[in-house]
């Protein structure tokens, strides 16, 4: 059994999972784990993937949003993760559990059984009362807006552009905007006005020397530092956009120079996924991923970080794999 297949089996048994091995189940790690299993072997791990989908569906609010965990219905930024999972899960071999009861399709019969479930939320329902509503989630995403602000002296980015915020009623920031743009594109809404506005925001938030951080560029005359994780997400969101000013490619060059064997798991994963969307696959990427997985195994065994690593490793090994099936072009 390869290290990655062992990790996949481990993750399948942990869904729904959290940011830490002992922590509560959360939306983002659960969706990331299911996305990783979709990429790694969707047929083998169908039940675990569906368990994640059911868990997310059960946590979906009537307005379509999904909160960060069962403890909190708000803020709704993890809604994008639910949409990404549904988009990646749209292949026909995947069947909602609530539909599979009468007769199991033939493909299910040949599956290996999942490992025993190690639920971190034993009190939570194992079956959803409703399916995840993609329509409601998309409605929520398209209706949600970061706060506009008056022009600020000393702040270089365009504060009047509206993307998505982490929390309702606050300013537009980079990662929630990347996730929302990705979610809209994954569901074929790349031309939606909100998606186009989000893309404009993202180009505006790229640092002059390439890369991005949480969403500020120049403050009081100083260009801020770029960070790996948001830059990777930025490339994922902008990979199919025209790069008229060369900002995206400059960001990719910055990212290539930053990644290495010591890069932390989440940053490494998003960085490599972002580069992969531009057909850039660093020669030692798989080695870096294995090193990162080894560190996680020795330290906190975070299901979230393991999920990101597995997902990225699967993509690195499958050049034609499309992360977002509904998106024009998909993963190159």
Write the interaction track for another protein spanning residues 75-94; mark x where CB under 8 A is met and - where it is not: x-x-----------------
Angle at 232 between CA 228 and CA 235, to 5 degrees: 140
Tokens representing 52?
């994640």
Q: Which helix (H) or strand (E) holds 222?
A: strand 222-223
- DSSP-derived letter for residue 98 is G
Which residue from 193, 221, 244, 283 is in contact with another protein, where contact means CB under 8 A? 221
Instruction: Please return the burial class of 20, using the count of CB atoms within 10 Å of its CB with bins 0-12, 13-18 and 19+.
Output: middle
Least distance (Å) between residue 118 CB and another protein: 18
Tokens representing 170?
């606050």
Nearer to another protein by Cβ, of 20 and 322: the residue is 20
Question: Which region among 37-45, 92-100, 125-133, 162-170 touches another protein (by CB under 8 A)?
Answer: 162-170
List all residues 6 or more positions away from 246 whose beta carbon is below 8 Å from its beta carbon: none
Nearer to another protein by Cβ, of 64 and 67: the residue is 67
Which residue from 61, 121, 124, 216 is in contact with another protein, where contact means CB under 8 A? 216
Number of residues assigned to the chain = 332
Is 305 an interacting residue with respect to another protein (CB under 8 A)?
Answer: yes
Q: Cα separation of 87 and 196, whole Å?
A: 19
238-to-77, 247, 268 alpha-carbon distances in Å? 19, 10, 18
Q: Cα separation of 243 and 250, whole Å?
A: 10
By CB under 8 A, the residues from 84 to 143 that bind another protein are none
Is 65 an interacting residue with respect to another protein (CB under 8 A)?
Answer: no
Which residue from 38, 228, 252, 309 is in contact with another protein, where contact means CB under 8 A? 228
* 72 SS3 class: strand
Nearer to another protein by Cβ, of 200 and 216: the residue is 216
Least distance (Å) between residue 155 CB and another protein: 5
Least distance (Å) between residue 40 CB and another protein: 22
Least distance (Å) between residue 218 CB and another protein: 9
- Residue 169: CB atoms within 10 A of its CB come to 8
List all residues 6 or more positions away from 220 whose beta carbon is below 8 Å from its beta carbon: 154
Is 284 an interacting residue with respect to another protein (CB under 8 A)?
Answer: no
Which residue from 108, 134, 136, 155 is in contact with another protein, where contact means CB under 8 A? 155
Binding site for another protein (CB under 8 A): 18-20, 23-24, 26, 68-69, 71-72, 75, 77, 147, 149, 152, 154-155, 157, 159, 165-167, 169-171, 173, 175-176, 213-216, 219-222, 224-225, 227-229, 262-267, 299, 302, 305
């Amino acid at each position: 059994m390869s290290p990655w297949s062992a990790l996949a089996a481990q993750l399948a048994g942990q869904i729904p999972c959290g940011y830490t091995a002992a922590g509560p189940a959360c939306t983002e790690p659960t969706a990331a784990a299911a996305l990783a299993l979709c990429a790694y072997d969707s047929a083998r791990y169908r039940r675990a993937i569906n368990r994640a989908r059911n868990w997310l569906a059960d946590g979906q609010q009537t307005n379509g949003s999904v909160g960060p965990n069962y403890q909190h219905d708000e803020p709704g930024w993890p809604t994008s993760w639910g949409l990404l999972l549904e988009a990646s899960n749209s292949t026909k071999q995947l069947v909602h559990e609530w539909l599979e009861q009468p007769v199991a399709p033939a493909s299910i019969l040949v599956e290996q059984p999942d490992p025993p479930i190690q639920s971190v939320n034993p009190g939570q329902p194992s079956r959803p009362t409703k399916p995840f509503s993609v329509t409601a989630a998309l409605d929520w995403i398209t209706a949600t807006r970061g706060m506009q602000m008056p022009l600020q002296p000393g702040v270089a980015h365009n504060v009047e552009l509206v993307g998505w915020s982490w929390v309702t009623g606050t300013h537009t920031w980079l990662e929630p905007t990347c996730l929302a743009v990705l979610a809209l594109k994954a569901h074929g809404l790349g031309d939606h006005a909100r998606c186009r506005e989000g893309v404009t925001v993202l180009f505006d938030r790229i640092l002059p020397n390439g890369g991005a951080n949480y969403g500020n560029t120049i403050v009081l005359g100083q260009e801020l530092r770029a960070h790996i994780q948001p830059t990777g997400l930025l490339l994922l969101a902008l990979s199919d956009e025209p790069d008229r000013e060369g900002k995206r490619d400059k960001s990719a060059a910055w990212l290539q120079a930053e990644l290495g064997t010591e890069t932390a798991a989440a940053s490494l994963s998003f960085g490599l996924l972002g580069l992969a969307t531009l057909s850039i696959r660093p020669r030692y990427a798989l080695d870096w991923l294995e090193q990162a997985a080894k560190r996680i195994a020795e330290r906190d065994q975070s299901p979230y970080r393991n999920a990101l690593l597995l997902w990225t490793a699967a993509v690195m090994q499958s050049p034609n794999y499309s992360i977002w099936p509904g998106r024009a072009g998909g993963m190159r």
